[in-house]
Amino acid sequence: MTVSVDYPREFKGFAITDPKDWDQPKLTSYEPKKFGEHDIDIEVECCGICASELFSLKNEWSNAPLACLSSSYGPKSQVVGHEVIGKVVKVGEKVTLAKLGQRVGLGAQASSCMQCGRCSSNNEQYCLKSVGTYCSRYPDGYVSQGGYASHVRAHEQFCFPIPDDVPSAFVAPLMCGGLTVYSPIKRNIEGVEKPKVGIIGIGGLGHMAIMIAKALGAEVTAFSRSNKKKDDAIKMGAQYFVATGEEENWSSRLADNFHLVLNCASSTTSLDLNAFVSILKVNCQLVSVGLPEKGETFDLSPFTFIRNGCSMGVSKLGSRQEAIELLDLASKHSFQPWVETIDVSEDGVHEGLTRLDRGDVRYRFTLVGFNKFFGT
Ligand code: NDP
Ligand code: ZN
């Protein structure tokens, strides 16, 4: 049986209809996706701002127009937001993973087939039928609408229980950014004795990666373009800091050092990836979670890899199991993302997006005050 409390049939959120207006989402009402038997409706309490939303709103990852504009059904506008914390206000009749009234978190994935080999081996983020929390098409044509909103609807698998002791605004960024870096760090250093991890790009994801790698027992080196973030990175838990734009020959100094180098930078324009491969130990990995705009590529020579037998890959989000492990790790090691809160409103969303766009954030924004704004 579907259970719910009373709330509006239509959701309200901050939406755009044209990428040229990416920084000015307007308050809009819209019909949510059809409610499935495993779905949950979340009344949003707060939502982090991730750089992926800038790429999506500006439509910088795609050559096609915004998906919502050509959808056969559903809103013709786009709400983003995928680091959601909120309260469960409706559960589908087959839901077993959450209860009405419970505090849950939702990241960048809202659905998958739940039947394939990937879904049944804790790799549901790679399900071929995966649907993202925003800008992503369900099989019936509806384009998903994210969490800068009064409510958001998602499959129960992607709604994670939040431990009582963590404040919502500080746990929100773990839902996408934190999980995205936790997964490749854990998968690459598990079982390694005294792992050494390098983190490139100390922004939202990168600063969480420092704390997470440290909590997982790694010696962490932070790589940033300049020395401006050095003191912060050390406070976050990095043992060493390298300003790649200010130190010559850093890669020869650090050759044959790292078990994992994780790229969290949002652009490759000032990244020397060949240098980052050269600092890996034999057969180790350079993993990128950073996803630059569509014109940018990874510029790497085969001769770089032949020197240490290393490889490079890209990692996407994380699984439910990893999200739960991460929340547990954060609670045990008492680490929290460095968060600046902004009250949600059209102006607040504008401020968060534009400041993130110019790199003016230390180190993650969380939009707060949703219940007050939406009267929920
Ligand atoms: P932020 O803007 O918070 O941080 C990005 C960091 O990248 C900056 O702080 C900066 O670090 C570095 N950077 C910025 N411009 C350049 C440049 N031109 N050359 C080299 N480095 C640069 O972004 P987020 O942390 O929110 O997101 C990071 C990336 O991760 C984005 O591409 C985002 O889309 C992607 N992402 C991927 C996911 C996945 O599943 N793979 C999930 C979520 C996000 P510094 O100043 O230290 O050099
Ligand atoms: Zn994200």
pTM of the model: 0.97
Answer whether 351's CB lies under 8 Å from 160's CB.
Answer: no
Domain identity same for 171 and 199: no
Query: Phi and psi (nearest 5°) for 10?
Result: -95, 145
User: What CATH number is attached to the domain comprising 137?
Assistant: 3.90.180.10
Domain identity same for 249 and 120: no
Q: Give the per-residue pLDDT at 7.
A: 79
Q: Give the per-residue pLDDT at 310.
A: 97
Q: What's the distance, CA 37 to chain centroid?
A: 26
Q: Is residue 358 part of a domain?
A: yes
How far is Cα 286 from Cα 280, in angstroms, rounded to an integer?
8
Closest residue by CA, ligand 1 atom 34: 52
Nearest-5° angle of CA 113, CA 109, CA 322?
Answer: 95
Domain identity same for 75 and 219: no
Which amino acid is it at 255? A
Please list the pLDDT of the chain residue by residue as tens digits (376 residues). 677 777 788 999 999 999 999 999 999 999 999 999 999 999 999 999 999 999 999 999 998 989 999 888 899 999 999 999 999 999 999 999 999 999 999 999 999 999 999 999 999 999 999 999 999 999 999 999 999 999 999 999 999 999 998 899 999 999 999 999 999 999 999 999 999 999 999 999 999 999 999 999 999 999 999 999 999 999 999 999 999 999 999 999 999 999 999 999 999 999 999 999 999 999 999 999 999 999 999 999 999 999 999 999 999 999 999 999 999 999 999 999 999 999 999 999 999 999 999 999 999 999 999 999 999 9
Closest-lying ligand to the alpha carbon of 203?
1
Mutate to test the pocket of ligand 1, among 205, 230, 319, 326 (most ligand atoms within 8 A of CB): 205
User: What CATH number is attached to the domain comprising 184?
Assistant: 3.40.50.720
Kindly give the distance from the C-alpha atom of residue 98 to the centroid of ligand 1, in angstroms, as a whole number. Answer: 32
**Owning domain of residue 218:** 179-314
DSSP state, 137? B
Closest-lying ligand to the alpha carbon of 287?
1
Ligand 1 pocket (Cβ < 6 Å) reads 50-52, 55, 108, 176-177, 180, 201-206, 224-225, 229, 264-267, 269-271, 289-291, 315-317, 356, 359
Answer whether 331's CB lies under 8 Å from 166's CB.
Answer: yes
Provide the Cα torsion 129, 132, 134, 138; round to 10°.
20
**Which atom of ligand 1 has the smallest separation from the CA of 224?**
47
Domain identity same for 19 and 168: yes
Is ipTM over 0.90? Answer: yes
